[in-house]
Structure 1
Amino acid sequence: MTWNRIVFSLVLAAGLLLAPCRPAQLAAKETCLSQGWPQDKSDLKPDPALTFGTLENGLRYVIMPNHEPKGRVSLQLNIQSGSVQERDEQRGVAHYLEHMMFNGTTHYQPGAMVEYFQSIGMAFGPDSNAHTSYDETVYQLMLPNSEEQTVSKGLQLLVDYAGGALLLPKEVDKERGVILAEKRERDSASRRVYKKGIEQAFAGTLLAQRDVIGTEEVLKKADAALLRQYYERWYRPDNMILVAVGDAEPAALQKLISQQFSQLKAKTASPACIELGKVAEQGLEAFYQHEPDLGHTAVSIASVWNAEPEMFTQAAALRRLKEYAATMLLDNRLQRIVNSKDSPLTSASFSSYKMLPQFGITSLRVQTDAGKWKTSLELLNSTLRQALTAGFPEEEMKRVRSKLLSMLKEQVQAAASRKSDDIAAVLISDLNSQEVVLSPAQELELYGPMVEKLTAAELSEVFRSLWHERRLVKVSGTAELLSDKNGTPEAQILAAWQAAEAAELKPWEQEQAVDFPYLPPPAPEAKVAQHTAYEKIGAERYVFSNGLILNLKKTDFEPNEVQAVVVFGKGSLVQPKPGLNVLAQFFIPESGVGKLDQEQLNTALAPYSSKVNFSIDENSFQFRGKGLSSETELLFQLLHTRLHDPAFRADAFERVRRQAEQFYAQAQSSVEGAMEFKGESFLAGGNLRYGLAPWDMVKTLTLADLEGWLRPAFKDEPLEISVVGDFDKEQVLRLVSKYFGEERKGGQQGADEKIIFPSGKKLAEKVVTATNKALVAVAWPTDDFWNITRTRRLNVLAAVLNDRLRKQIREELGAAYSPYVYNQSSEVDPGYGVLRSVVMAEPGQADRLAAKLKQAGADLAAGKVTDEELKRALEPSLTSIRDRIRTNDYWLDNVLIGSLQHPERLEWPLTIQSDFAAVKAEELSALAAKYLQPDKAAEVLFLPEKK
């Protein structure tokens, strides 16, 4: 939970970064490569569960035992270099090189690596992946078991990455198309705004010039020699950290690491320091970027500065804590403004963080409509000035203090359920940031007393220190500013900012504290009328006197945590007007509850971990809650209040409608969005329950429509409650009886609809967009969900076709970055299911690729699935299943929810592993012959058209 890591998560959520960068690194005098460990220069001690080591060749490693997922080990190799280490003629090479590791190494000829790891139970992508950012390249393996041979093979592959890449010229040329396809696939309005923002804010530095994906000029002519130059310069043992986390003995891992990695040697002299340049630190600058595909207008004010590396000591930890707390203070204000009546804003965020060791940026960003950019800029200005001049009162500090303490305590309670790959990623992030890695208990011990002592006055001063002399004011997106008598767009922005600066500043109005819960429990309490134990799966069902159903499954997968889901009604199946389900899922959380709006509720719940979300399934409404076991009653109070005292606030509806309009505007300017708006309903014979309803329909919906649909369901529909996790059964029985004892007489019935798949038909349409890529999909009708043996095999068949397309489309043709295939069988519509294959393509290749997808299905239907193909598809599925059945989500979503109407769900856990393991190649061949015939296929093509 280090504060730097949390800030980065907020920045990512705001869409400002592609990947976290190294905020601070102390370079040794004789080299620019980091050496040693952060704790070597700190008064803080690292997590005692960690084993640190350094080999003679300089490679560092960290080992940590962890037992989730059970029996698996995460190995991650961190190369401490990325795109900023590239020379001008190498722009894009770091990322290109990452791709080439999968195309041939010392122990794996081209094409062999992925297939080997699939055969032992690892999926390409989820279990074997990599990423490149500005200053790091990380290779990730999630091994299917912790056996010595498996771990040794995994380490051998990482050694190959570290020094055994073949970089065959033929393979470099083949991968070029994949790289260019990825560049094309990742292009979007938000990506262009981000890239331009980096170029503007960090002008004059390498950061502004080193986009990770690289330049098309370099990518089109990069050869094996160019890649090898970078490889031998930066892939060296003294520039690497190996992280191993999992269900294995540290001593055994340490021995294997030494055996495998000691052979590595640096192939070149230590590289010279990279001069990144300096950002300007003074002045007021305006930037404008017209990007109508963004769907909204973004307005921001930022401060950029040159930073100095620092050691992570207690003093530094306290300072970062204060900075993060100050960030929370302003962010709370922003959310209150967004949620206020008649606010011009639809979202807002505040962040302050380091980009590489040398640069810092503080940014206040809001989202609005095109015609409200000036009003939003004025509001942004006044909010910032209020905080800078008057600071924050102690009343606002109480919420931040309680939330920070809650987060720290929740981390400790949930420590045993952390996943090994997540821990490994955090370790790399902390070490690259030169932060001492602390356990959740250490963080509570360190930060807890600090949080208790924080004052509003010192946080106000820290907040001021985050704003440096250089100010950048930016307007981007849908607002179209033209040069006129008022000057250029930039001049207009500066004039609006200066006018806002000169305006009279009103004081911030403090909101009154609120309490929760406020509803009395209903009377009378319900009594248990019937109890059934399902001993084979360790679950129970209670039927109460009022008809309520309670399903229980006690687990130890996530110690000290509990999940509860209240299911009722028929969901999307009975929506009276298309699009209501879209608005409702955003509206209910935004509107708060009867006596508290959403911000008041957030304030009241700040000291707690419990949270409740609302969702609409294809055949039900759901309130899903999660929290610490110690908060079980609070969790049920939240569920009770959400259900019994829903709010239908007009201002919240207007805000959600504007958010939806902006979302639709952005989505309608992309081929991916077109698939949601038109492609999904096309594959469902025009039924608008599939995909997203058109905006022309959604914009006509009213608050009365929404309330008329939801309120009766909330009030009258019978309830099924499922609880899974580390709970006290008697307490749960008492709480369900206490809070859900009312009689309910509802009984929504969905209309029977026959879905007609468009076999043999084609949907081809143009999408007006500035993004030059096409979406190509070929789909076949399968069947509904309820023959579980068939559904399981259809999923494996999809995996087989997915693997064929990976080889044919990506590896052989280099025509797409990530073709994918999946089967989706309906739980509502009898006989309806779709198996689809999808690729993002260069527009001129769309028809050709559609033919390839269709032919791949035809070949599978006419031929046979080989035993080798089955193994490569099935083994990763079996690994995933072993992990999945040890999660609370599996028992809720796949077993308990809906088990009254479909009691067969309670049998599925008994057969899932054995049934999948029993899949035969001939069964898949028979399914392919039945479902993947060419005359049954439907095609969907969305092509870009310039504005």
Structure 2
Amino acid sequence: MKKQHIMIATGLLFSVYTGITRPAFGQIKKTASAKLLPSDPELRTGKLANGFTYYIRRNEQTKNRVELYLACKVGSVLEDDDQQGLAHFVEHMNFNGTKHFPKNELVDYLQKAGVRFGADLNAVTSFDETVYQLPIPTNDPSLLKNGLMIMRDWAQEAILDSLEIEKERGVILEEERLGKGARDRMSRQTLPVLLNHSRFANRLPIGKDEVLTTFKPAALRRFYHDWYRPDLQALIVVGDVDVNEVEQLIKLQFSDLKNPKPARPRLTYTVPLTGKEQFVLVTDKEVPLTSIEMMFKRPASVVNTEATYLEAMKIDLLTQLLANRKSAEASKENNPLFINSNVGVTSLFGKVNLLDLAVVPKAGQLKEGFKQAFRSLERIKRFGFTAEELENVKKMMLSSLEEGYKQQHQIPSKVYVKQYQNMFLNGETAPGIPWEYQFRKANMPAITLKEISAVLNKYLSSKDVDIIVAGPEKDKASLLTAQHIHQWIDEVKGEKIPAFTDDTKAGILLAIKPQAGKVVKKELTAALNVTTLRLSNGLTVILKPTTFKKD
């Protein structure tokens, strides 16, 4: 029900909690450091005889509350030609009648229990996955048992009534209609290129009008029968619960789920790299300005060894260095010729990563605006980053790590849930905060500028490059070609570009210290544990201590 974006970022727990997001990264050679990451000792995992997987973790950050998520390795890439859009349709039908909650009884029951539809209770369907989320109170044992029953119903007990299917058809078509803006129209032209005409390009989760308006209920039921099965599902339980009790309840509720016989093989689809450059020009009447985007693609791999984790740390550093350099150069530029420019490494469906340079030049400044943005990237390629830049980013990241380590008992349950989703859906490992903290603290100082430049150059030397130009329909006749872009890049590469210099120098913040004042009045509001200070210059200061964080 939530809209699913095409670009995603993956990450281990520190990346999620500290706000440092990163993609998976290019394949690297196996070495002695290809030791598998350890498992978080606080996480209980298991697999039932039917293949159903579960992850349980006690987290008291939110008292009397638990997050229940059902993750299914089921998405639009599994649809047959006559089912395009039905993975998303099945997700909707799971809210329209299940074995223990027919028709709309599920939503009614949960709303009475204090669970809000949309804000709390929700689901999302993507290319490779469908995930259902249900946060519920745990102060009433019956709510937890019923919550697990709901998860069991979602896993394999949808009724899929023909009349309800017809009712929901209009809802789905309206949801699709609301998404038909300029972004959707252009993405349908650019995605086949970005996804290298792979199966992903032909299986957008929203589906096709001609299928959604004409499919028979039997096609929907066939999809559900084939793919909603325990060997493709996992239950994630994180919150204020007894782990042993929950594990027993899961075994009771989910052990008798059945896999179809014969079971269709669940193929893994990828975006194959071609070693070629691709150019696409799209226009739309609702687009006011032209944008230029260059994407340098590389194969991605899973973070589950010390070697891959170390490489991910380098990408963390590169991503932050690129962001900091952009800010530093923007503050020095008196006349930026673009409205916006971004560069960074991100991940794409189908086990592909990319370095993405996106520029929106000012009106009438297509050439110079693009060259100004590309020149910054070329400067980094030639000269790299400075030792001071790297040291500052390391200090910032280590400070964030220290803070995250201190607050490890204050982490919201949803952060753990997202990590365990990655474990099940993408094969990543969850080593836990203490391990991540110690590993990063021990290894980050030794990462060099040369290693960071090597990561960047791997992307910039890629032969798989996509160039996408999007602009107003009225300017279509005069818009850019691939030759224009390459000519401008060659011009920048032929320039004498000076190395980056940071003009900001550390100094005294206040040359003249202000004269000290006095506290003229102090009041304590005991009931609120609030202290109010009145200062001699008229300022009022209100102080209240909290225990939300350790410091």
TM-score when normalising by structure 2 = 0.88
Contact 1:4 1:353 in 2 (8 A): no
**What CA distance in whole angstroms lies between the structure 2 residues aligned with 1:328 and 1:294?**
30
Matched, 1:397 2:397: no
Q: Shift of the alpha carbon at 1:278?
A: 4.9
**What CA distance in whole angstroms lies between the structure 2 residues aligned with 1:23 and 1:491?**
28
**What CA distance in whole angstroms lies between the structure 2 residues aligned with 1:341 and 1:4?**
39
* 1:616-765 paired onto structure 2 within 5 Å: 629=551
Q: Which residue of 2 aligns with 1:511?
A: 502
Q: Which residue of 2 aligns with 1:559?
A: 549
Q: Which residue of 2 aligns with 1:203?
A: 196
Q: Which residue of 2 aligns with 1:251?
A: 244
**What CA distance in whole angstroms lies between the structure 2 residues aligned with 1:283 and 1:545?**
70
Q: Which residue of 2 aligns with 1:385?
A: 378
Provide structure 2 residue ranges, at least 5 long, that are not aligned to the other structure: 1-8, 28-33
Provide structure 1 residue ranges, at least 5 long, that are not aligned to the other structure: 14-19, 26-40, 561-628, 630-947
Q: Shift of the alpha carbon at 1:222?
A: 2.9
Listed one character per residue, the Cα deviations across residues 212-245 of structure 1 (whole Å, up to 9, x for unaligned) are: 2111111112332212222122211111111101
**What CA distance in whole angstroms lies between the structure 1 residues aligned with 2:16 and 2:357?**
14
Contact 1:146 1:248 in 2 (8 A): no
Change in CA separation of 1:249 and 1:23 when aligned onto 2, cut-off 3 Å: farther
Change in CA separation of 1:212 and 1:135 when aligned onto 2, cut-off 3 Å: same
Matched, 1:317 2:309: yes
**What CA distance in whole angstroms lies between the structure 1 residues aligned with 2:77 and 2:512?**
60
Q: Shift of the alpha carbon at 1:130?
A: 0.7
Change in CA separation of 1:407 and 1:268 when aligned onto 2, cut-off 3 Å: farther
Any idea what SS the aligned residue of 1:53 has?
strand
Any idea what SS the aligned residue of 2:98 has?
coil
Contact 1:7 1:352 in 2 (8 A): no
Q: Shift of the alpha carbon at 1:179?
A: 1.1
Q: Shift of the alpha carbon at 1:164?
A: 0.1
Change in CA separation of 1:69 and 1:478 when aligned onto 2, cut-off 3 Å: farther
Matched, 1:538 2:517: no
**What CA distance in whole angstroms lies between the structure 2 residues aligned with 1:490 and 1:374?**
12
Contact 1:302 1:363 in 2 (8 A): yes
Change in CA separation of 1:551 and 1:214 when aligned onto 2, cut-off 3 Å: same
Q: Shift of the alpha carbon at 1:118?
A: 0.6
Structure 1 range deviating more: 65-74 or 372-381: 372-381
Change in CA separation of 1:8 and 1:341 when aligned onto 2, cut-off 3 Å: farther
Query: 2:264 pairs with 257, 268, 271, which one?
Result: 271
Query: 1:110 pairs with 103, 108, 111, which one?
Result: 103
Matched, 1:80 2:73: yes
**What CA distance in whole angstroms lies between the structure 1 residues aligned with 2:222 and 2:285?**
41
**What CA distance in whole angstroms lies between the structure 1 residues aligned with 2:473 and 2:450?**
38
Query: 1:46 pairs with 39, 42, 58, which one?
Result: 39
**What CA distance in whole angstroms lies between the structure 1 residues aligned with 2:351 and 2:10?**
20
Q: Shift of the alpha carbon at 1:6?
A: 8.7
Report the residue type matching 2:470 in the other structure.
Answer: S
Any idea what SS the aligned residue of 1:554 has?
coil
Any idea what SS the aligned residue of 2:71 has?
strand
Cα RMSD for the two superposed structures: 3.1
Report the residue type matching 1:435 in the other structure.
Answer: E
Contact 1:51 1:64 in 2 (8 A): yes
Q: Shift of the alpha carbon at 1:503?
A: 3.2
Q: Which has the higher contact order (CA 8 A, sep 6+)?
A: 2
**What CA distance in whole angstroms lies between the structure 2 residues aligned with 1:412 and 1:521?**
38
Q: Shift of the alpha carbon at 1:192?
A: 4.0
Q: Shift of the alpha carbon at 1:71?
A: 0.9
Any idea what SS the aligned residue of 1:130 has?
strand
**What CA distance in whole angstroms lies between the structure 1 residues aligned with 2:24 and 2:106?**
30
* 1:176-215 paired onto structure 2 within 5 Å: 176-215=169-208
Change in CA separation of 1:10 and 1:342 when aligned onto 2, cut-off 3 Å: farther
Change in CA separation of 1:295 and 1:189 when aligned onto 2, cut-off 3 Å: same
* 1:129-168 paired onto structure 2 within 5 Å: 129-168=122-161
Q: Which residue of 2 aligns with 1:327?
A: 319
Q: Shift of the alpha carbon at 1:479?
A: 8.3
Contact 2:57 2:243 in 1 (8 A): yes
Structure 1 range deviating more: 279-288 or 172-181: 279-288
Listed one character per residue, the Cα deviations across residues 747-776 of structure 1 (whole Å, up to 9, x for unaligned) are: xxxxxxxxxxxxxxxxxxxxxxxxxxxxxx
Q: Shift of the alpha carbon at 1:559?
A: 1.2
Contact 2:67 2:237 in 1 (8 A): yes
Contact 1:4 1:320 in 2 (8 A): no
Q: Which residue of 2 aligns with 1:490?
A: 481
Contact 1:104 1:166 in 2 (8 A): yes
Contact 2:68 2:237 in 1 (8 A): yes
Contact 2:281 2:469 in 1 (8 A): yes
Report the residue type matching 2:465 in the other structure.
Answer: R
**What CA distance in whole angstroms lies between the structure 2 residues aligned with 1:302 and 1:482?**
22
**What CA distance in whole angstroms lies between the structure 1 residues aligned with 2:429 and 2:384?**
31
Q: Which residue of 2 aligns with 1:418?
A: 411
Contact 2:14 2:433 in 1 (8 A): no
Q: Shift of the alpha carbon at 1:4?
A: 6.8
Change in CA separation of 1:308 and 1:425 when aligned onto 2, cut-off 3 Å: closer
**What CA distance in whole angstroms lies between the structure 2 residues aligned with 1:121 and 1:442?**
37
Change in CA separation of 1:320 and 1:22 when aligned onto 2, cut-off 3 Å: closer
Report the residue type matching 1:189 in the other structure.
Answer: A
Query: 1:445 pairs with 424, 438, 446, which one?
Result: 438
**What CA distance in whole angstroms lies between the structure 2 residues aligned with 1:293 and 1:495?**
27
Matched, 1:126 2:119: yes
Report the residue type matching 1:472 in the other structure.
Answer: D
**What CA distance in whole angstroms lies between the structure 1 residues aligned with 2:42 and 2:508?**
40
Listed one character per residue, the Cα deviations across residues 222-269 of structure 1 (whole Å, up to 9, x for unaligned) are: 332212222122211111111101111111111111111112111243
Q: Shift of the alpha carbon at 1:430?
A: 4.3
**What CA distance in whole angstroms lies between the structure 2 residues aligned with 1:442 and 1:4?**
11
- Percent identity of equivalent pairs: 28
Matched, 1:472 2:463: no
TM-score when normalising by structure 1 = 0.53
Change in CA separation of 1:405 and 1:295 when aligned onto 2, cut-off 3 Å: farther
* 1:333-412 paired onto structure 2 within 5 Å: 333-339=325-331, 340-412=333-405
Q: Shift of the alpha carbon at 1:401?
A: 1.3
Listed one character per residue, the Cα deviations across residues 103-150 of structure 1 (whole Å, up to 9, x for unaligned) are: 000001111110101111111112211111121111001102343211
**What CA distance in whole angstroms lies between the structure 1 residues aligned with 2:12 and 2:356?**
15
Change in CA separation of 1:207 and 1:146 when aligned onto 2, cut-off 3 Å: farther
Change in CA separation of 1:47 and 1:346 when aligned onto 2, cut-off 3 Å: farther
* Rg comparison, structure with higher value: 1
Change in CA separation of 1:505 and 1:394 when aligned onto 2, cut-off 3 Å: same
Report the residue type matching 2:216 in the other structure.
Answer: D
Matched, 1:65 2:55: no
Report the residue type matching 1:500 in the other structure.
Answer: E
Q: Which residue of 1 aligns with 2:30?
A: none
Matched, 1:529 2:523: no
Change in CA separation of 1:276 and 1:247 when aligned onto 2, cut-off 3 Å: closer
The structure richer in helix per residue is 1
**What CA distance in whole angstroms lies between the structure 2 residues aligned with 1:164 and 1:516?**
67
Report the residue type matching 1:438 in the other structure.
Answer: P
Q: Shift of the alpha carbon at 1:43?
A: 2.3
Q: Which residue of 2 aligns with 1:908?
A: none
Change in CA separation of 1:73 and 1:7 when aligned onto 2, cut-off 3 Å: closer
**What CA distance in whole angstroms lies between the structure 2 residues aligned with 1:512 and 1:101?**
59
**What CA distance in whole angstroms lies between the structure 2 residues aligned with 1:453 and 1:151?**
47
**What CA distance in whole angstroms lies between the structure 2 residues aligned with 1:511 and 1:401?**
17
Q: Which residue of 1 aligns with 2:5?
A: none
Q: Shift of the alpha carbon at 1:537?
A: 2.8
Give the paired residue count: 535
Q: Shift of the alpha carbon at 1:310?
A: 4.4
**What CA distance in whole angstroms lies between the structure 2 residues aligned with 1:344 and 1:292?**
24
Any idea what SS the aligned residue of 1:371 has?
coil
**What CA distance in whole angstroms lies between the structure 1 residues aligned with 2:502 and 2:145?**
59
